[in-house]
Amino acid sequence: MVKARLFGKKRSGGSVEVLFERRVDESTFIGQIKFSGKLRPGSELIVGNNEILEVLERQSLFFLLRSDKPIMEILKTQVLFHSHPNKKRVSACG
């Protein structure tokens, strides 16, 4: 299991933090999103090097998201890995 955080913004400019939970297929995954305002199916989030995540649906506390490229490629280069609260996070960003 990979737990990782992606930081970005909504098209409207509001900040978002996406916690990757589980991959569904190559470009679709389930995650949690920290955001302000509204987030509906069809909303687009911009993370990393302008990669687009589309909100497909909300499932209680989780969201189904689709990326514009394979999600594992984005996670390899653009994430902060989630670890134990007493340990430092390791940045994979350049």
| Residue 94 covered by a domain | no
| Residue 88 covered by a domain | no
Domain encompassing residue 31 = 4-81
Note every long-range contact of 45-49, with CB atoms under 8 Å and residues 24 or more positions apart, other chains counting.
Answer: 45/8, 45/9, 45/10, 45/11, 45/16, 45/18, 46/8, 46/9, 46/10, 46/11, 47/6, 47/7, 47/8, 47/16, 47/18, 47/74, 47/78, 48/6, 48/8, 48/74, 48/77, 48/78, 49/77, 49/78
Number of domains the chain contains: 1
| Residue 86 covered by a domain | no
The pLDDT tens digits along the chain (94 residues) read: 565 889 999 998 999 999 999 999 999 999 999 998 889 999 999 998 889 999 999 999 999 999 989 988 888 876 555 544 444 444 444 4
What is the model's pTM? 0.77
